[in-house]
Amino acid sequence: MRIIIVGCGKIGLALAENLNKEGHEIAVIDTDPDVVRDVTSSMDILGINGNGVIHDVQIEAGVKDADILIATTGSDEINMLCCMIAKEEGNPHTIARIRDPEYDMDVKYIRERLNIGNIINPERMTALEIVRLLNFPSALEIDTFAHGMVDMIKLKLTDASPLCGHMLKELPKVSKVEVLICVIERGGQVIIPDGDTFLLKNDLISIIAKPQDAVSFSRENQLEYARARSVMTVGGGRITYYLAQLLRKRHSRIKLKIIEINEDRAVFLSDEFPEYTVIHGDGSDHRLLVEEGIEAQDAFVALTSIDEENVIMSMLASRLEGVRLITKVNRLQLEDFDDIEIPIGSVVNPKKITSEEVVRYVRSFERSIGSNMESLYMVADNRVEACEFLVKNDERIVDIPLQELHLKKNVIVAAIVRNNTVISPHGSDVMKVNDRVVIITTNSGLHDLRDTLAR
């Protein structure tokens, strides 16, 4: 497909890289000639130096023949205007990054009145991820399927876990809770396991389960679980704003303390959220964190705009026993700390979260006739895809026992959701029309449930 990306900041560049890998024909527009030159020298894509709002610039980028235009500049208003111009000129599907909380209540109105296909808000999506992690502190990552009925949760096995040393086929003897271990990360390798795969100390395991079963599994196998009741964040930007907003609406019992270095921003947050404590100060000063009671917190969340600062703060906080760590990074190469044992807890990455959402949207649009992809997550450093599909009436898939389906290698049917019931599938189970199915695979580029079949 032909895709135009307006704005090549962190989000735009990540989208260009991922969509280019997917095999799409990409054109980027940016006002900075150096940025355009760097992007086009590293990827086989078209680069246009100019303002994406200008009609002639969009024409030069090929908007008349484009399938999708994605506007990711630093201005919400420019992004909306880019989409409006594109719809008038070439009628591509449009995606706009809109981040300002003032627009958050009007997202539905903006989509309908401006005819924008999809609106993405990286900061709000990141805040949602943080809320999920606070509710399941032993998880390193949490991805959600089927409107919250199924979770994919990454956990780290410790010496204390009774799972260590057992093969997966022995799990029913070890654990009373039925979950599916679908991915194992070990020593930099990614394993799609089978029944004969052993579990070892320090393995990172990804499980598929109902949320309540994931909690029971974690407790039963001594993978520490306790919801956070007190949280300290450093950095008072948009993510923190959305986090405070979500906690106010959904988890009012959680006590939140925000440390913000900019005095005006601290005053603004204090006025917006009087129920929370807002401190004007430098959160990178460890003495301040101690003075403000970091030892008494259940969780510490580093959310400044500087990756290195977030990592250092989390490393310092890791010395405190029992404090749950969540660290925001924006450069993907900073994400995989597990192999080098840097103790920064769970990593949240707005670029990655946004890229997953856009790639899912693009794949679904590419197969717009009969498309059935509902969710998409990249896990294990983007080496594994977790996809949710809606089952449609296809005789090659429907009502055929899973053991008789000719699935591609390294494809697991991890969960089936039918009539609000979650099924942990076995070989004799079948998929039915309107089921939601979670697929785990190392095969990249699935667009449709039919892509899981070997023939």
Residue, of 339 and 390, whose pLDDT is higher: 390
Mean per-residue pLDDT for 226-239? Answer: 92
* Three-state secondary structure of 396-415: CCECCCHHHCCECCCEEEEE
301, 325, 348 - which closes a domain: 348
Give residue for tokens 């399941």. 136
Report the C-alpha gap between 363 and 67 in whole angstroms. 12
| Predicted pLDDT at 38 | 95
Is 140 found in the same domain as 116? no
Is 170 found in the same domain as 73? no
| Whether residue 340 has pLDDT greater than 60 | no
Report the C-alpha gap between 219 and 158 in whole angstroms. 13
Among 192, 146, 92, 165, CA closest to 407: 192
Residue 16 DSSP SS3:
helix
Strand partners, 437: 389, 416
> Distances from the Cα of 319 to the Cαs of 222, 281, 287, 298, 342, in angstroms?
21, 21, 14, 13, 12
Residue, of 218 and 277, whose pLDDT is higher: 277
What total number of domains does the chain contain?
Answer: 4
78 near 44, Cβ under 8 Å?
no
Is 133 found in the same domain as 71? no
Q: What is the crossing angle of helices 122-135 and 350-366, to 10°?
A: 110
Is 94 found in the same domain as 35? yes
Rg (CA), the chain: 23
Give residue for tokens 């250092």. 312
Is 11 found in the same domain as 105? yes
Residue, of 332 and 120, whose pLDDT is higher: 120
| Whether residue 63 has pLDDT greater than 90 | yes
Is 137 found in the same domain as 153? yes
Report the C-alpha gap between 177 and 381 in whole angstroms. 28
208 near 438, Cβ under 8 Å?
yes
Angle 417-422-428 from CA coordinates, rounded to 5°: 80
> Does residue 73 fall inside a structural domain?
yes
Among 33, 110, 32, 125, CA closest to 73: 32
Strand partners, 407: 453
| Predicted pLDDT at 274 | 97
Residue 436's Cβ-side half-sphere holds a number of Cα atoms within 13 Å equal to 19
Is 447 found in the same domain as 412? yes
- Determine how many CB atoms are found less than 10 A away from the CB of residue 329: 22
Most confident of 51-55, 135-139, 383-387, 389-393: 51-55
Is 393 found in the same domain as 448? yes
| Predicted pLDDT at 421 | 94
Average pLDDT, the chain: 90
Dmax of the chain from CA atoms? 67
Residue 325: which CATH number? Answer: 3.40.50.720
Mean per-residue pLDDT for 173-202? Answer: 91
295, 326, 348 - which closes a domain: 348
> Does residue 353 fall inside a structural domain?
no
| Predicted pLDDT at 341 | 63
> Does residue 357 fall inside a structural domain?
no
Q: Measure the N-to-C terminal CA separation of the chain; round to a whole number of Å.
A: 25
Residue 416: which CATH number? Answer: 3.30.70.1450
Mean per-residue pLDDT for 103-110? Answer: 87
- Determine how many CB atoms are found less than 10 A away from the CB of residue 403: 10
Report the C-alpha gap between 43 and 408 in whole angstroms. 30
Report the C-alpha gap between 248 and 240 in whole angstroms. 12
Q: What is the pLDDT of residues 237-282, one digit of tens each?
A: 999 999 999 999 988 889 999 999 999 999 999 999 999 999 999 9
Is 90 found in the same domain as 143? no
Q: What is the pLDDT of residues 306-327, one digit of tens each?
A: 999 999 999 999 988 778 899 9
> Does residue 354 fall inside a structural domain?
no
Q: Which helix (H) or strand (E) holds 264?
A: helix 263-272
Domain that holds residue 31: 2-120
Residue type, 172: P
Residue type, 437: V
> Does residue 382 fall inside a structural domain?
yes
Most confident of 230-234, 349-353, 450-454: 230-234
| Predicted pLDDT at 360 | 83
- Determine how many CB atoms are found less than 10 A away from the CB of residue 259: 27
DSSP 453: B
The distance of Cα 263 from the centroid of its chain, to the nearest Å, equals 31
Q: What is the pLDDT of residues 348-390, one digit of tens each?
A: 999 989 988 898 888 877 655 445 788 888 888 788 999 999 9
> Does residue 225 fall inside a structural domain?
no
| Predicted pLDDT at 371 | 53
DSSP 3: E
Is 239 found in the same domain as 198? no
| Whether residue 337 has pLDDT greater than 60 | no
| Predicted pLDDT at 264 | 98
Band of the pLDDT at 160, cuts 50, 70, 90? confident
Is 95 found in the same domain as 181? no
Q: What is the pLDDT of residues 123-134, one digit of tens each?
A: 999 999 999 999
> Does residue 242 fall inside a structural domain?
yes
Report the C-alpha gap between 217 and 223 in whole angstroms. 8
120, 155, 180 - which closes a domain: 120
Q: What is the pLDDT of residues 394-435, one digit of tens each?
A: 899 999 999 999 999 999 999 999 999 999 999 999 999 999
> Does residue 340 fall inside a structural domain?
yes
| Predicted pLDDT at 239 | 97
| Whether residue 76 has pLDDT greater than 80 | yes
Residue 321 DSSP SS3:
coil
Is 105 found in the same domain as 87? yes
Give residue for tokens 């079963």. 213
Most confident of 68-77, 86-95, 329-338, 361-370: 68-77
Band of the pLDDT at 52, cuts 50, 70, 90? very high
Q: 384-390 and 436-441 as β-strands: parallel, antiparallel, unpaired?
A: antiparallel
57 near 48, Cβ under 8 Å?
yes
Q: CB-based contacts of 226: which residues, under 8 Å, 6+ apart?
A: 137, 298
The two structure tokens encoding residue 187: 């020593």
Report the C-alpha gap between 410 and 43 in whole angstroms. 29
